[in-house]
Chain A
Amino acid sequence: MPEGAGAAGWRRLALDPPRAFGTPPVSGNLRATAADFAVEERLGYEPDGGRAHRLLWVEKQAANTLDVARELAAAAGCAPADVGFAGMKDRQAVARQWFSVPAERAQPPPAGFRGDAFRVLASHPHSRKLRRGALAGNAFAIRVRAVAGDRVALASRLERIAAGGFPNYFGPQRFGAGGANLAQVEAWLERGWLPRGREPRAFVLSTARAIAFHAVLARRVDEGSWNRLLPGEVVNLAGSASVFVAAAPDEALAERCRAGDVRPTGPLCGEGGLAPEGEAAAVEHAALEAAAPLPAQLAAFGMRGERRALVTRPAALRQREDGDALVLEFELPRGAYATSLLRELVESGAPPAGGD
């Protein structure tokens, strides 16, 4: 069995993978209150005026996205599955996001409607149900309290990350509160079958995929190749799901990588899909040994192979003072986790809070 494999190794890979920039320059407290973590969804397009659905702009606090969707469905008189949203937002946060509610067979609650832990801020006509992943990204404003450490070093790290990005790790919420989903992945491997129900199954499979992805990204961080293209790399066009294999990346492609237009990827393991070649394949296969037998199991259980970028890049990254607290503001593209950026910037004493 490879070193670091097994439960303890996976836990470390999931919750404490290697940082790209070393020890954070400052320490501080994150999420003292929900209001310390503000997230606002950016769809990247406007409601289209179609009649079939209403897009509701909702603010929620200390509430799960799924719970809000269920409450909206009950208020509208439709099935929860008919309510759409583009992404799950952190529970312990003030989050603004879009929900779609069918407008022809149901009565979407109007602007001003208040639920248990949310309110509808606005409502617009739209032709389609919102699909998971159909968003440009999110804007964050995160308050760090009791900051100590080297603020000059923090400023230069912000500059470096704004210019070159940071490792695109999944956040801890992907692994369940305190890594609770990891035990379910181990139970799956022992028993050979998945839990009943769509959501529990999906959680186990996506946790397993995230462990395997982290195994590859952690290796590339250790080797210093997480932000550049290797020969045979599966390359992704930033801002899209498009991927292609670059057998021998030339200087022009390397330059586009440095500029953030294209980026290297790691596996979301499953059957089929585009695979790396040459050196990129050798590195990936070696790294995946730390996740065995998850890649083979994921393929056997019918997951389709996809790719996820190894690097992501914040936009509009800045810090400002607010009283005696520090506020970090930035925008991230879809699929990127604020916690993965924060861990390169701030050493926080408290364990990361669970998400949805």
Chain B
Amino acid sequence: MMRIGSGYDVHRFGAGDHVMLGGLRIAHTHGVVAHSDGDVILHALMDAMLGAAGAGDIGQHFPPGDARFSGADSRDLLREVVRMVAARGFTLENCDLTLVAEVPRIASHRDAICESIAAALAVDRTRVNLKATTAEGLGALGRSEGIAAQAIVLLREVDSA
């Protein structure tokens, strides 16, 4: 059996000199305001995986008020999500990720980000796809006030022979 899930995350720009995207540190004129490392791509991905498994959302498993997750490396949280999903009998078939941002531009980092995500998920690189788009100047994202990501994932039920 296959199960589909979707996730969405957005963070406002704040003070700082980099953003975390897919576990990679990307230099930027701003950072993001977040309780954790503010990695929009991984947060959207985790929500999509939990959604597909019928296991709630990241806010439920890693509450923003919980000191244990303050400044957490989202790759560690993602590995926990992979295990939660596995306990329910699922493994990732593929994920399709979209970053929505005017800045920073990530074209030159895209392969490295995909590899970082695949490594965090412990899956083959071919199971991860990342696209980037802008908001065409529209709205808050268009005014470069923040950064957003959307994730669609397919989970496959594991054969247990």
Contacts and interface: CB of A to CB of B under 8 A. Distances in A.
Nearest to A205: B161
Which 9 A-B pairs have CB atoms at the shortest separation, nearest pair first? A133-B160, A134-B89, A237-B122, A44-B87, A240-B86, A239-B83, A242-B122, A241-B91, A132-B160
A interface, over-half SS: loop
B interface, over-half SS: mixed
Interface string A121-151: 0000001100111111000000000000000
Q: Which of B89, B123, B125 has the most A CB atoms < 10 Å from its CB?
A: B89
Contacts of B84: 44-45
Interface residues of A, number: 36
B147 to A, nearest CB: 27
Q: Which of B88, B123, B161 has the most A CB atoms < 10 Å from its CB?
A: B161
A210 to B, nearest CB: 10
A135 B87 contact: yes
Contacts of A133: 89, 158-160
A274 B91 CA distance: 14
Interface in A294-316: 303-304, 306
Interface residues of B, number: 25
Contacts of A304: 159
B119 A244 contact: yes
A242 B121 CA distance: 7
Interface of A: 43-45, 48, 87, 127-128, 131-136, 202, 205-206, 209, 235-245, 261-262, 268, 274, 303-304, 306, 335
B87 A242 contact: no
Contact of A209 (B83, B92, B160, B161): B161
A25 B82 CA distance: 38
A132 B122 CA distance: 22
B11 interface: no
